[in-house]
Amino acid sequence: MSEYCGAELRVRRVAAHEVMQCIDGLTDVLLDCVKGGASVSFMQTLSRDQASAFWRGVAEDVVRGNRVLLIAEDGNGRIVGTVQLITAQPDNQPHRADVAKMLVHRDARRQGVAQRLMSAIDAVARDERKNVLVLDTVTGGDAERLYERAGWNRVGTIPDYALMPDGALCGTTIFSRHL
């Protein structure tokens, strides 16, 4: 299992045999992000059961080898952030992956968690022999600046692409990165 350590924060790849043990902590992070207004595919009505079901689906993909899950844990072992690398791609795209669900609990923001997760996802992508990465994020959100600082290239925007958790329309910005 790969591990990327720091003083009070540990970012690591979750192994298939331990992914189910992370569901509760991941659910807490997802619920907090949605409650805080993050447009990450879910509406404000997201229940704990729905969020847990989402993570169980992610866990199944990790076990099948179709997805890599990284978590950031604080000094107490509490999951405070996560990001995924979707490695299962069509036959003509074996060299690329999608970065998805970059989530940081509001209590842990502005402490370098997202930056550490992004550095770790680059390392994992290299380990997985993926050299083209793609992601999308809310247009005008804080994550845009994070991705640009991390060396990602803005590809374009799609107006009114998704809904915010409160139902308001939002645009999406697509980013790519060559490793």
Q: Evaluate whether residue 177 is within a structural domain.
A: no
Domain holding 121: CATH number? 3.40.630.30
Q: Of the candidates 58, 33, 26, which has an alpha carbon nearest to the alpha carbon of residue 42?
A: 33
Query: How would you classify residue 90: left for phi > 0, otherwise alpha for psi between -120 and 50, otherwise beta?
Result: beta
**What's residue 4's pLDDT?**
44
Could you tell me the pLDDT band of residue 7, with boundaries at 50, 70 and 90? Answer: low
**What's residue 1's pLDDT?**
34
Its domain, for residue 72, covers 3-130
Structural domains of the chain, count: 1
The model's pLDDT over 117-164, given as tens digits with 9 standing for 90+, comes to 999 999 999 999 999 999 999 999 989 999 999 999 999 999 999 999
The model's pLDDT over 98-130, given as tens digits with 9 standing for 90+, comes to 999 999 999 999 999 999 999 999 999 999 999
Q: Is 142 helix (H, G, I), strand (E, B) or coil?
A: helix
Q: Evaluate whether residue 48 is within a structural domain.
A: yes
Round to whole Å and give the CA distance between 64 and 88: 10
Q: Evaluate whether residue 154 is within a structural domain.
A: no
Q: Evaluate whether residue 172 is within a structural domain.
A: no
